[in-house]
């Protein structure tokens, strides 16, 4: 599988008014002799980098239309030989415009265009140690990263002084940190949130707009981060997984620290995290095919994973629905420490090759679950991946990495090109979150990193927060569709469960219901049969984190709508912002005796009024209306 080096980025020198905006321009409230640089984006977004004259420390502030998104927030790196958070003096500055156009295989849109205003500074300490800072301003956010040109002079990285200082009165939606990123999101006043550590994908509402903190370009050159907070403080610090980041004596570029900002609609459609990431390293992506899958774990549990007849029945059911994949979870393979998978005897004892042939004859590909511990060495990967490729397996679901340490991220750096070489799609569970990975490695279809359908502790409020937090970052394997599970927070709303299949984007949408549960809900089955493989456009129609989310996603000429709300039954008014002209809209809502489908013509820009049950939602499709058309 040929891999390619990252594409060159088109860079343009800044000129005219933008150059003037980047010149030294101290604001009225700056300190005497404080050096301040401003980078102006579009729609009133401004990043302000300041160097304090006494301590020689750096801060970054963000505002939109003169209203504060981030107060001056500390910047800087700590290393074993130098404190690069103070005593800094500028020695160089350069600016450019980064313009890119690229295409992805998954996500909220496939064709991407980005234009970023970038400034890079060089700083030195009194003893000559160098730290570079790069800041980029996009229409939908601000990002920065550090560069150590010579880690031989600095030694290992021991931490960051990076932090995010929220304006007074800000609100937040936070998830407590855990290694697999699977905690619930909860609302707090930002300063009053409990003391503790929180996941990086934290959302704040500020006077200047919403702000989602995230990172991009995370690799084994560094370690994952989380936010730290002390109750009563507006400051959210950055803590690295490792106390010491190993370096090789050469140059080190840290991951991007990013703030996606704007109104909720801008947040949900943002592709900033992918825009910051390195270009695709996979030359030929013709084999990378997203699409829905019938996931059999929640449908039947461990026995389903061990039964060839049951798995064949699932393949038959997927074929009848037009779903391109089934996923075989734990229990299908023998302990590899007792068997050599390259031994023909092992293959004769596995029923996966027969299942793959059976599914292929029906147009259904097979993905298989595999534990991280069976792929954590080069020898194991060389033992497993060629065999799975030879069998015709289409993808692997790799589970239980449960770490964002530098060592574990180096494993990601190794497994990603290896799976691409063997043309295996990837779904990571018990994992980090995408952080730009899907742009660089387009065969990564989805990652868990979410408190999803598998969890028995969930809330409707959490369901409404995910479209504004975790799913903004990249594909999310929530695994919707488990109508048969009474413990789900939207148990009274089959329409709400159905809407999650659109509301939550995933390159492979793993549908977790039983065939019997779909057959008992023909309107849900009909809707899921029409799910497209990928999306061309995403729009938030209405909503706010914690209360309501209604997203529209376009595939070709058709739009699909998904909605969920938290709270008592209500009537939801949905602006149909999907384009001018007349549309035929099919809605699926909860009725007194099950799901109810209704069809109505509507003009683009009109308002749909729909009844939604407590903690419920709806699903819908929209297509161009013409006389005589009665269905999408």
For the record, the structure tokens of 98 come out as 């980064």
For residues 341 and 332, the answer to whether their CB atoms sit within 8 Å is: no
**Of 377, 297, 380, 373, which is closest to residue 332 (Cα–Cα)?**
297
For the record, the structure tokens of 76 come out as 């800087």
Q: How many CB atoms lie within 10 A of CB 113?
A: 11
**Of 242, 239, 263, 238, which is closest to residue 73 (Cα–Cα)?**
238
For residues 621 and 587, the answer to whether their CB atoms sit within 8 Å is: no
Backbone angles phi, psi at 127, to 5 degrees: -90, 5
Beta bridge partners of 11: 98
Element (H, E) at 267: helix 264-269
For the record, the structure tokens of 217 come out as 């370009």
Q: Is 127 a catalytic residue?
A: no
Whose tokens are 């490729």? That residue is 389
Dist. CA 196–CA 432, nearest whole Å: 19
Given 448, 454, 523, 586, the catalytic residue: 454
- Pairing relation of β-strands 425-428 and 444-447? parallel
Convert 528-547 to b/e letters by CB count within 10 Å (16 or more is b): beebbebbbbbbbbbbebbb
Maximum separation of any 2 CA atoms in the chain, in Å: 79
Dist. CA 174–CA 184, nearest whole Å: 8
For the record, the structure tokens of 114 come out as 């980005």
Dist. CA 230–CA 356, nearest whole Å: 53
Q: What is the CB-side half-sphere exposure of residue 80 using CA atoms within 13 A?
A: 12
Q: How many CB atoms lie within 10 A of CB 460?
A: 24
For residues 256 and 440, the answer to whether their CB atoms sit within 8 Å is: no
Which residues are CB-neighbours of 249 under 8 A, at least 6 positions away? 150, 151, 152
Q: Is 454 a catalytic residue?
A: yes
- Pairing relation of β-strands 548-555 and 537-544? antiparallel
Given 399, 448, 453, 590, the catalytic residue: 399
Q: Where are the beta strands (DSSP E) in 336-375?
A: 365-371
For residues 347 and 383, the answer to whether their CB atoms sit within 8 Å is: no
Residues with a catalytic annotation lie at 399, 454
């Amino acid at each position: 599988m040929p891999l390619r080096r990252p594409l060159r980025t088109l860079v343009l020198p800044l000129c005219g008014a933008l150059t003037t905006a980047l010149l030294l321009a101290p604001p009225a409230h700056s300190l005497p002799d404080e050096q301040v640089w401003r980078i102006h984006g579009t729609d009133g977004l401004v990043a302000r980098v300041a160097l304090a004259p006494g301590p020689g420390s750096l801060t970054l502030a963000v505002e939109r239309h003169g209203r504060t998104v981030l107060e001056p927030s500390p910047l800087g790196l700590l290393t074993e030989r130098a404190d690069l958070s103070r005593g800094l003096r500028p020695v160089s500055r350069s600016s450019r415009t980064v313009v890119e156009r690229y295409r992805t295989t998954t996500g909220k849109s496939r064709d991407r265009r980005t234009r970023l205003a970038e400034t890079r500074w060089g700083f030195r300490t009194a003893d000559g140690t160098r730290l570079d800072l790069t800041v980029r301003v996009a229409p939908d956010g601000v990002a920065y990263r550090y560069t150590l040109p010579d880690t031989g002079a600095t030694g290992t990285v021991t931490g960051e002084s990076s932090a995010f200082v929220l304006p007074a009165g800000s609100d937040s939606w936070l998830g407590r940190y855990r290694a697999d990123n699977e905690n619930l999101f909860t609302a707090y006043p930002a300063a009053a949130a409990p003391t503790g550590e929180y996941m990086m994908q934290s959302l704040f509402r500020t006077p200047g707009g919403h702000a989602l903190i995230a990172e991009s370009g995370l690799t084994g050159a560094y370690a994952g981060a989380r936010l730290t907070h002390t109750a009563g403080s507006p400051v959210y610090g950055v803590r690295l997984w490792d106390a010491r980041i190993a370096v090789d004596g050469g140059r080190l570029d840290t991951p991007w620290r990013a703030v996606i900002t704007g109104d909720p609609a801008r947040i949900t459609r943002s592709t900033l995290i992918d825009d910051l990431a390195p270009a695709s390293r996979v030359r030929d992506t013709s084999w990378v095919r997203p699409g829905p899958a019938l996931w059999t774990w929640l449908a039947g549990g461990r026995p389903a994973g061990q039964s060839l007849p049951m798995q064949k029945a699932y393949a038959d059911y997927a074929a009848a629905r037009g779903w391109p994949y089934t996923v075989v979870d734990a229990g299908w393979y023998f302990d590899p420490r007792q068997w050599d998978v390259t031994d023909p005897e092992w293959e004769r004892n596995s029923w996966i090759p027969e299942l793959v042939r059976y599914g292929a004859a029906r147009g259904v590909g097979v993905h298989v679950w595999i534990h991280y511990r069976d792929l954590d060495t080069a020898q194991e990967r060389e033992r497993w991946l060629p065999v799975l490729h030879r069998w015709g397996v289409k993808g692997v679901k790799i589970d239980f990495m449960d770490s964002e340490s530098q060592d574990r991220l180096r494993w990601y750096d190794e497994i990603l090109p290896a799976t691409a070489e063997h043309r295996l799609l990837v779904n990571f569970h018990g994992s980090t979150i995408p952080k730009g990975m899907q742009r660089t490695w387009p065969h990564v279809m989805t990652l868990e990193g979410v408190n999803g359908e598998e969890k028995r502790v969930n809330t409707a409020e959490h369901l409404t927060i995910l479209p504004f937090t975790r799913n903004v970052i990249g594909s999310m394997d929530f695994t919707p569709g488990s109508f048969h599970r009474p413990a789900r927070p939207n148990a009274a709303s089959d329409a709400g469960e159905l809407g999650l299949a659109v509301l939550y984007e995933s390159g492979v949408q793993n549908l977790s219901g039983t065939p019997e549960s779909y057959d008992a809900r023909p309107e849900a089955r009909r809707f899921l049969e029409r799910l497209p493989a990928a999306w061309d456009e995403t729009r938030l129609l209405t909503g706010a984190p914690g209360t309501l989310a209604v997203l529209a996603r376009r595939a070709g000429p058709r739009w699909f709508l998904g909605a969920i709300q938290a709270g008592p039954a209500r009537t939801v008014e949905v602006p149909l912002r999907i384009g001018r002209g007349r549309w035929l809209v099919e809605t699926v809502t909860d009725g007194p005796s099950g799901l109810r489908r209704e069809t109505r013509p509507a003009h683009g820009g009109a308002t749909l009024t729909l009844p939604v049950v407590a903690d419920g939602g709806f699903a819908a499709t929209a297509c161009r209306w013409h006389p005589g058309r009665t269905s999408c």
